[in-house]
């Protein structure tokens, strides 16, 4: 990829997720509610993916929201 000569960037973005913050406590929280702790990484990756895609598309999603119906049963919690 070639840099555009003489063009100034109007925005510079840095990805600091998981660099400046320790995400491991989220896994513990998943475990406390009966979900496997390893799902926290997949959840966080999905959160970032969806957030970036929504922002890039110019959309906005209100929170909190329920998972789509097709997600029902995707993750089973065991007690």
What is the per-residue DSSP string for the chain? Answer: -PPPTT---S------TTTSS--HHHHHHHHHTTS-TTHHHHHHHHHHHHHHHHHHTT----SS-PPPGGGTTSS----
Residue 75 lies in a domain: no
pLDDT tens figures, 27-63: 999 999 999 999 998 998 898 888 888 888 887 665 5
pLDDT value for 79: 46
Range of the domain at 48: 31-56
| Statement: residue 70 has pLDDT above 80 | no
Please give the average per-residue pLDDT across 11-22, as a whole number.
79
Q: Is residue 10 part of a domain?
A: no
- Per-residue model confidence (pLDDT) at position 60: 67
| Number of domains comprising the chain | 1
Share of the chain above pLDDT 70, in %: 71
Residue 30: how many other CB atoms lie within 10 Å? 19
**Which pTM value belongs to this model?**
0.54
Residue 64 CA to residue 47 CA, distance in Å, equals: 13
* Assigned domain for 3 exists: no
Which residues, in sequence order, are CB contacts of 33 under 8 Å at separation 6+? 77
């Amino acid at each position: 990829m070639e840099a555009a000569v003489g063009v100034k960037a109007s925005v510079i973005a840095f990805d600091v997720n998981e660099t400046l913050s320790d995400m491991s406590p989220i896994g513990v929280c998943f475990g406390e509610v009966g979900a496997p702790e390893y799902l926290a990484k997949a959840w966080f990756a999905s959160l970032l993916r969806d957030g970036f895609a929504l922002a890039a598309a110019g959309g906005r999603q209100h929170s909190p929201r329920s998972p789509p119906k097709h997600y029902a049963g995707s993750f089973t919690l065991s007690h």
